[in-house]
Structure 1
């Protein structure tokens, strides 16, 4: 790790950038080595979780914490727009379009890189269905079939939407030059030893 950090620091310095000691953190994922990593003799802080470009990255490499954070953010956006959903002047189509451009965009931000399990897909779909039912003013004990709800609001299932976003991202990445870091990341195979299992 120290060698990699040294190379990053050297490459940064070569183009006029400085590595900030206070902002630099170390997150170890599947690595047995726990030696401290230093910059100019100062140890960098080891962290279990950190946020990078709006996405939460944890020591397990999963996206569950990130998905839960985006679900919370989307719920907050939905609640901030309560006056829109309760408005009698706006048509249902307009409300659904506002939902798509505000709530759904926040909810599915970064979905192209999420690890999608059935539980994650279900959590996302439940939030979408709850919001759409409230927009359509379908309250308990009234019910509506999920497929009918999606059809009435011209939506596709969240699993399909995430898959579509993922394929768009992969296509975008594959069109990049072979020497581009983004393209190389698809086939990157880190060398070294992983954690030894007990």
Structure 2
């Protein structure tokens, strides 16, 4: 590029995200430490008896959750990673709501008290809302081409690696869209697409 040779690497950092050679951005392990650090710096606020619960939840959503979910639309995630980020949020909420470990509070009750939803569900919703914008772009747009483009040659034997595109194609089929053409037609109607994404996120 511009007369310079580029090294072949397995991963590199771009705009604060870790891009890997397996496809997509595996950024969970990169964002979680930053979110934990942000939460720890605000420990005085979480312990305060002057600040009410609603204000603490708002601060958590604006400061901690935004640090965690930066660029989450392009993450490729495993079930283990989804569980890890959900556990992180549950621990944060228990600390803010002053719920001791001895108290038997279910996850459903915890989320209801905080008036929030699992992080894994929110990531999926954000991703498919963003994909709706992509699908409404011109089919010659680079983002649309990337959804269907396939490299030449054959892949090596064995189970294929989990990539962002394989993950969204699996979720697409779960949503009842058998192809990107079908999904593109559904995304053209914004209201119907929004309801379909909400149903997919519950699945």
Partner of 1:76: 37
Match in the other structure for 1:157: 118
Query: Is the deviation greater in 82-91 or in 120-129?
Result: 82-91
- The equivalent residue for 1:128 is 89
Partner-residue secondary structure (3-state), 2:124: helix
Tell me the residue number matched to 1:46: 8
1:100 to 52, 61, 86: 61
Structure 1 or 2, whichever has the larger Rg, is 1
TM-score by length of 1: 0.72
In the alignment, the residues of structure 1 paired with residue 48 and residue 18 of structure 2 have an alpha-carbon distance, to the nearest angstrom, of 35
- Residues of 2 paired with 1:196 and 1:189: CA distance? 15
Alignment of structure 1 residues 1-198 onto 2, 5 Å = 19=2, 39=3, 42-61=4-23, 63-64=25-26, 66-190=27-151, 192-194=152-154, 196-197=156-157
Distance of 2:25 and 2:142 partners within structure 1: 22
Q: Say what the alpha-carbon RMSD is for the aligned residues.
A: 2.0
How much has 1:72 moved relative to structure 2?
Answer: 0.8
Question: Matched residues in 2 for 1:172 and 1:43: separation?
Answer: 35
d(CA) in 1 for partners of 2:157, 2:135: 35
**Which structure has more RCO (C-alpha within 8 Å, separation ≥ 6)?**
2
Instruction: Report the CA distance shift for 1:178/1:62 in structure 2 as closer, same or farther (over 3 A).
Output: closer
Indicate the structure with greater helix content: 2
**Structure 1 segments unaligned to the other structure (5+ residues):** 1-8, 10-18, 20-38
Q: Distance in 1 between matches of 2:44 and 2:97?
A: 14
Which ranges in structure 2 are unaligned for 5 or more consecutive residues?
Answer: 159-203
- Aligned mates of 2:16, 2:136 — CA distance in 1: 25
Q: Which moved more, 1:173-182 or 1:122-131?
A: 173-182
Deviation at 1:164, TM superposition (A): 0.8
